[in-house]
Amino acid sequence: MSRLFTPITLRGTTLPNRVWVSPMCQYSCDPVAAPGVPNDWHLVHLGGLAVGGAGLVLTEAAAVLPEGRISPYDAGLWNDEQARAWARVVDFVHGQGAAAGVQLAHAGRKASTHRPWDERSGTVPAAEGGWETVGPSALPHGDLAVPRELDAEGIAAVVRAFAEAARRADAAGFDVVELHAAHGYLLHQFLSPLSNQRTDAHGGSFENRVRLLLEVLDAVRAVWPADKPVLVRISTSDWVEGGWDVEQSIALARELAAHGADLVDASSGGNDPRQEIPVGPGYQVPNAGRVRREAGVPVAAVGLILEPAQAEQVLVSGEADAVLLARPLLADPRWPQRAAVALHAAREVPWPAQYARATRDPVPLARPFPRPGVDGAS
């Protein structure tokens, strides 16, 4: 049996397979009429990925506070209107046999930016709907605005906001929450000595720099049902000398497990424009494998995992317990179903009755998988 299409149980929640949808920001909320509220785009986008056979469908980063959005167009979970809108998406995902997860996030000093396709850089000015950003220290990221350093009250407010968002996620019916502590956003900013130059209890030593993430995890775990898992996405390396690295990630993973995290989602980068990332197929998998082996915790791998055989080997070799896909799923939402055919596990990923006729036509299932830089995948 294919390892990729074997169920996995975390706490009391069983996920039907190990092909998971990586969080992908869509920048598609209405920033004026319905700030942070997911809409039909999110329903169709995430619902289509559930129809395609993914075992866990994770939402894009949902901001826990308005000022925690990456852009004015980002989704959120800081109020009940947003929770009700997410519940509609969750219900549809569940109806396709997939589990639904939400990534809770705060962008920190990388907030209030333009959408990627707007072809504008820098911080969105207040006159255009932007806001003051915050961070662990008054250090900007690249050409973005200098953030306001969070004081003790501000830090406590962030912790409370994550917990309240988790409460709403449970009310909306989500099976999984993931804390976003990667890619240079607020929780990662506190972890890395490149962005955290505080001299109080939240800065300096490793123990102090990981404190905020553990406080957030404790607060979320206290309100999140005991039978539902909490995932934590981390960047295993800043790819900058003197920054956050895989050795610190291993130590952090042990702490996360001790505080109730159930799986580490191992990504990398995003915190410093000087990063030099050795991008290539599966380039983040070795760090994921080290975290899994040396910390002894379940791990998911992500990053240029494109082919079914490649994904299968990541799991069979013991480098990870699950894989997360992003751009390959954008290029082909049916990737899980076609991968199951390629790995002789087609019965493990049933097609919806409405689409079953496609399984009787060999042409769609025989189509090559997306190639990076050729078929829209990367």
Beta bridge mates, 324? 20, 302
Taking the CB of residue 313, how many other CB atoms lie within 10 A of it?
A: 16
Residue appearing with tokens 């990053």: 303
pLDDT of amino acid 187: 98
Token representation of residue 165: 């968002």
Residue 356 maps to a domain: yes
Rounded to whole angstroms, how far apart are CA atoms 315 and 324? 12
- Residue 65 included in any domain: yes
Give the pLDDT of residue 110: 98
What integer pLDDT is reported at residue 358 of this predicted model? 81
Closest to 321 measured CA to CA, from 342, 304, 298? 298
Task: In whole angstroms, give the CA distance from residue 119 to residue 123.
Answer: 12
Assess if residue 333 is contained within a domain. yes
Q: Which residues are designated catalytic?
A: 185
Q: Are 88 and 47 in contact (CB under 8 A)?
A: no
- Determine the Cα–Cα distance for residues 100 and 90; give it in Å rounded to an integer: 6
User: Is 378 within a domain?
Assistant: no
> Structurally, how many domains does the chain consist of?
1
The confidence score (pLDDT) of residue 367 equals 59
The pLDDT score that the predictor gives to residue 108 is 98
| Residue 372 within any structural domain of the chain | no
Task: Say what the pTM is.
Answer: 0.95
Within a domain: 80:
yes
Residue 205 DSSP one-character state: S
Q: Among residues 114, 116, 123, which one has the least CA distance to residue 147?
A: 123
Q: What is the DSSP string of 157-185?
A: HHHHHHHHHHHHHHHHT-SEEEEEE-TTS
Domain that holds residue 247: 8-366
Burial (Cβ within 10 Å: 0-12, 13-18, ≥19) of residue 350:
middle
In a domain, 212, yes or no: yes
CA 117 – CA 234 distance, rounded (Å): 26
Q: Point out the residues of the chain with pLDDT beneath 50.
A: 366, 374-378
The CATH number given to whatever domain includes residue 19 is 3.20.20.70
Instruction: Please enumerate in sequence order all residues whose Cβ is within 8 A of that of 118, keeping only pairs 6 or more positions apart, or say none.
Output: none
Strands 8-10 and 13-15: antiparallel
